[in-house]
Structure formats: structure tokens, C-alpha cells
Chains A and B, each alone.
Chain A
């Protein structure tokens, strides 16, 4: 196996709030090979976006981040500001969710795509930045003439394409896509996913994909990690994890998607009972036990660690 592009070891993130410390990520470790793709799935509040933010140190000041993040050979958590600037955009870039607030409403989209190139001096000057911006716009499926448009003049799908072009501005090695398809209709979602997978092939990108929608990930990602209450509770090859989950939580998530044609889900929507736990107030033992259909006495004493679950997967459940 080649050296991983991204290596995360025992990463923990704690926010400090008026109500006390809130552990959002609690000891996450994984590797992502160069050219690979990893999907990170979980419900609101499971810590997946916090994890993404920690990888490029984009979290609010005063947040405790412990553990180790190695991206392209650099120890991200100990870098000085100059080193950190060099890593952001060029080693790793984030595609944010394409809502209006991810873009500056008073700058043209052309200016916003050129800005990181000029700041990071990956182009010689304004003229080259303009040419490159236009070619990026073309690549994500927008006419170069749209460079002069403002965000409000674009549709949701077009804004998502702009955010992808922006993330590609400095030719990053790692692209982190945080809910890039949420709030888009299914047709645009399919367009965005196919664009991302084309770009991945073309540019040999490494892709990390974060979403609450497990079904999106299984087709877009080679590997899939499922988070619950700040930890990875199942990890393995994408298709297997979705089709034959080892952890009862993953099974519940997967079952929440209707299969058209499957009569058992016809007029019988399935959901996962209960609500995810609040990060500041986790239940003892396995944090999933209050919602788990298979919970038993043995789940209560301690939180299970990830263990091998067959088929290249691992799961944090005493039943595997």
C-alpha cells in the first residue's frame, strides 16, 4: 500500500461553550490513500463537519483539537500560520454546501474563483488568473461568460458548480466535499456527483465526501465510514457497508432509504427511531444503545471499540 495522503490518528475535538465542554469528535483514526475516496456519513451532530474542519484547522479559536493529522507529509495541527496557509487550498480544499452564504454576495463569481490563485501565487498575475478561472468554469459546466455574474444570479446547482471550481483553483491534492448535494434536487445532485467523479479521475484527486445521505456515498466512494456520537462506528468498502452493514446503526440508516420496486417499503417508510444524542450529554456504554433494536445488558458497561467484522470491514459493536 502506498503512503496515505491523509492520515488521522486519535483525533479529538472539544468545543468550549457556556454550558461546559462539548466533545464533538472523540478519538477518530483513519487513512486515505492518494487517489482514493472516502465517504463519511452520519446524522446531524455526529461530528462529521467538525472533523472536516479540524483537518484544515478551520474551527473557531479556543476549540481544543488533539491527536494528529498528517496531510501530504505535513503535520497540520502543529504547523505555523505560514505553513498552514500553504496547506490550505493547495494540499487540501473544501467544497462547502452550495447555499447562498458560502459565497460572497457582493463579488462576482470570477473574482471569488481567482482570489485563492492570486493569494497563493499559483498564477503569475490577474491575466493568467482570469484565463484559468474561465477554463475552470468551463470544466464545471458553466459558460466562461458567467464569470461576471453575482451569486444571486445563479441557481443552486450552478452555485455548487462555482464552489467546486473555487476549491479546484489551486489544484489541491485532497478535495473535501461537505454535503455538496444537500438541498439540491436529485437531477442536479446526479450532475454534481458525476462531475466530481470525472474530476477525480482527470486530476487524480483524493476525495473525501461528507453527508447524511448514505445512499449518495455508496456509489461515489470506495470506502465508507459511519460516524455516531463523535466516533467512527463502522468502516469498510462502500457497497458492502451499505448493502450488508455490520453495525445495527448502519443497518438502520441504510434501511431508511426506500428501494423502488421493493414491496416491503411500498407505503411503508422506515426510519430510525429516536434522536441522535447531544454531544455534551452522551449516554453511557455504547452511545447507540438507547436507539438500538438489539441492545442488551452487555452494551451498558463500556463503549465498544472498532473490531474486525469480516469483508474488510470493522464495526464498533459487541455483537460483531
Chain B
């Protein structure tokens, strides 16, 4: 899909099982250099397990994770850095900003000019002048600045990809935009890639080039952000979009309950017990029966735009003369 450019992260048919629970159950995705991919889904969809597997913190049951073409012997690979949800929890309260940011360099036993590298990373993260922040402790700076310190601590390692797990969910709404803007600048200026995990499609509109929607361990829809948000095909994506507070011209589709227990994945399409389209009774009988009995399977690794939904695939078949994607 990007001829001549190789992906930074490639996850293919990944399974991570905890006993009976299939937290990740056949997920595939790619992150290319210089792009932001938003991985979207509710709590319990397996997003966090998936990025832990990419980071090498979680062993895969089967399937592959490759970072820059190398398979997953990547624990402590400086090319992959994390940005956590809660910067206050991620920072050691007894370390100064300087120590926090320099820590990764020391672990890596980097021989460069440490002070210079730390200062560069801080200015890259928008903490300028960097000298002013070096001696401060986390409690002496604001929540937004703390998240910038976390980002500087990642950037000092010169990563190729940032895995950002709900990077702004614990921040005040007013400062979220600034942190997202910073992340987008880093991508545009340095060719960094970001895999941003979120439950908020509004965030995807703000920073993501592409969207992958995850449900119960799998990617169920993927495509370019504008296309997905303008014309979602999967009923799950439609529901997620309808509850973003800023898209109220859509009728809200509040799904009942929560994602089912991953140790009891429903038969057929795994979304069918909560699917508003199936429940509406509008589907032809044969299609509805398929939703209940046959698994539409996960979205393929190579898919540019695809939805793992029988009715959506049937519509695409009719309009595209047989192309399922």
C-alpha cells in the first residue's frame, strides 16, 4: 500500500490468550513511517494488550510482530517508546525533569553529550527554555507539562515509533489539543510514527492519518480517517462515532452493556449480540442468519479500506462488482 516504503510496525494475525480469554484474537495492522494510526475501541477491546505485545512486554500466543522488519525479540528496543495515559503516575516524584529524561540514555549507556541530548528532547517536546525545566520536580509543573516531560523522555531515545496509550485521556480537555498538536508536529517534522490508542474518534479526526477499529481482540474496520469518519461501514464504528459529543447531528446509538468477556467470544460475527443493525430487523433473513452463524473473519493486513461485517461486505459486493474491500 506504500510501495517502496517498509512499515515500522507490522502485526500479523496476532493472538494473545490468557487461558480461555482471547484478549487479542487475530489482529493485523501496519504503521508506516511519518503516519499516525489511531487504534480505536471501547475498554476491553484488547487495544492495550496489543500494544504491550508490540512493545515486547507481552508474549504472543501466535502470530508475528515485526518492528522495522525484525521479529519480536525487541524488548528494550529504543526504536519503540511508550507514552502512558497518566503522566503523574508515569513520572517518579523524586526525580527532577533532567533525571527523568536522562534515565533512558543512561540505561542505554549512550556516550553522547547527555545534557545536550536532554535539552534537545525537552525543546522538541515544547518545554522551552529547556534549562528552566531541568531542575524541577514533577509536582512543580502542570499536568500538560508533565505529559511533555514523558514525551521528551521517549524522544530522547530517538524512537521510530511512539506507542501512545490514551495519551490525553487524563488531561484537562483544555490542554489536550496542545499535546495532540505536539504529537502531530513530531510526526510531520521527524518522520516518527505514532500508534495512538484511544476510545475517542474525535482524537482520530485531530491527529490520525488512518484509523483501525478494534472489537473483542480484532480489527473490525480500517481505512483513511476521513473516509472512516465520513462514511463508516461497520455498525460498531457507526455507534462509536455517534457518541462523540461533537457529532450530534447523528442520532446517538448507545450500545447496551459492555464488550463481552473475551473467554466467551460470541459465535458468528463477534459483534452480533450488540449490533444495532441486526437488532433493527432491517437485514434480509439470509444475511441476518449469516451474522449469527458465520464469522466474517478479521480485516486483512493488506486492506486499505475494509469492514469485517457481512451486510457491509454484501453492499460493497453489489456496488464494486465483487470486490469485498
A residues bordering B, Cβ < 8 Å?
43-44, 155-158, 183-191, 194, 212-216, 218-219, 252-253, 256-261, 265-273, 275-276
Contact = CB atoms under 8 A, between A and B. Distances in A.
A190 B207 contact: no
Contact of B247 (A213, A260, A268, A272): A260
B230 interface: yes
Nearest to A156: B43
A248 to B, nearest CB: 13
A187 B274 CA distance: 13
Contact of A260 (B169, B180, B244, B255): B244
Which 3 A-B residue pairings sit nearest by Cβ, starting from the closest? A271-B177, A271-B178, A185-B199
Nearest to A43: B172
A190 B170 contact: no
A196 B252 CA distance: 16
A275 B146 CA distance: 12
Given A190-B243, A269-B206, A185 B43 contact: yes
B239 A267 contact: no
Contacts of B178: 269, 271-273
B169 A268 contact: no
Contacts of B230: 261
B184 A260 contact: no
B199 A253 contact: no
Interface string B140-173: 0011110000000000000000000000011011
B241 interface: yes
Given A253-B174, A257-B246, A269-B184, A187 B254 contact: yes
Interface of B: 42-44, 142-145, 169-170, 172-181, 184, 199-203, 205-207, 226, 229-230, 239-241, 243-248, 252, 254-255, 258
A258 B175 contact: no
Given A259-B247, A272-B175, A276-B174, 10 more contacts: A44-B172, A186-B240, A187-B42, A213-B173, A215-B246, A256-B176, A258-B206, A265-B206, A267-B207, A268-B206
A257 B318 CA distance: 38
A216 B175 contact: no
A143 to B, nearest CB: 11
Contacts of B173: 212-215, 253, 256-257
26 contacts: A43-B174, A44-B143, A155-B258, A184-B43, A186-B240, A187-B239, A187-B255, A190-B252, A215-B245, A256-B174, A256-B177, A257-B173, A257-B246, A258-B206, A260-B201, A260-B205, A266-B205, A266-B226, A267-B184, A268-B181, A268-B184, A269-B177, A271-B177, A271-B178, A271-B179, A276-B142
A211 to B, nearest CB: 9
B114 to A, nearest CB: 28
A55 B247 CA distance: 34
Contacts of B248: 219
A142 to B, nearest CB: 10
Nearest to B188: A267
Contacts of B177: 256, 269-272
Given A186-B244, A212-B173, A265-B206, A155 B44 contact: yes
Contacts of A258: 202-203, 205-206, 246
Contacts of B247: 259-261
A275 to B, nearest CB: 4
B188 to A, nearest CB: 9
Looking at A190, A259, A266, the one whose CB has the most chain B CB atoms below 10 A away is: A190
Nearest to B180: A269
B170 to A, nearest CB: 7
Contacts of A155: 43-44, 258
A310 B203 CA distance: 33
B174 A252 contact: yes
A271 to B, nearest CB: 3
A278 to B, nearest CB: 9
Contacts of A261: 205, 229-230, 247
B246 A259 contact: yes
A260 B243 contact: no
A194 B180 contact: no
A248 B269 CA distance: 49
Contacts of A191: 254
Nearest to A220: B245
B206 A186 contact: no
Nearest to B230: A261
B169 A275 contact: no
Nearest to B168: A269
A260 B202 contact: yes
B89 to A, nearest CB: 13
A257 B172 contact: no
Contact of A190 (B144, B176, B179, B254): B254
Contact of A188 (B43, B145, B175, B239): B43
Contacts of A218: 245
A257 B207 CA distance: 13
Given A219-B248, A257-B245, A186 B200 contact: yes
